[in-house]
């Protein structure tokens, strides 16, 4: 665990996320949340387990662009042919029985 990551245990996940927001001083949308354990209430409070999360700040310097080779070799898919919806429905329906 580094200085930018916190492991937090609380009674449920929502409370743990709220605590992480307070600890980092940022909103939920700026945190990366990994749920380690959802926790459980147990039976009548016996055997209850706390929820555990690992929270860290999002890194906004990530590069999400495609590599140059992928951009140049990528081709558009051919357009799909439209079919009449009535013919598909007839095939799905069982044949009529005549007495």
* Domains of the chain by residue range: 5-57
Could you list the pLDDT tens digit for every one of the 99 residues in the chain?
445 889 999 999 999 999 999 999 999 988 999 999 988 888 887 888 999 999 998 776 555 566 665 555 555 555 666 655 555 555 566 666 766
Tell me the fold of 5-57: Defensin A-like (3.30.30)
pLDDT at 68: 64
20 burial (CB, 10 Å; 0-12 / 13-18 / 19+) is buried
pLDDT value, residue 10: 92
Q: What's the pLDDT at 1?
A: 47
């Amino acid at each position: 665990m580094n200085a930018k990551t916190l492991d937090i245990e609380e009674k449920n996940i929502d409370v743990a996320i709220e605590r992480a927001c307070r600890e980092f001083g940022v909103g939920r949308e700026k945190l990366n949340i990994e749920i380690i354990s959802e926790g459980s209430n147990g039976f009548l409070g016996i055997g209850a387990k706390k929820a555990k999360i690992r929270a860290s700040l999002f890194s906004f310097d990530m590069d999400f662009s495609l590599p140059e080779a992928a951009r140049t070799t990528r081709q558009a898919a051919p357009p799909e042919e439209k079919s009449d919806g009535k013919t598909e429905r007839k095939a799905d329906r069982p044949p009529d029985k005549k007495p």
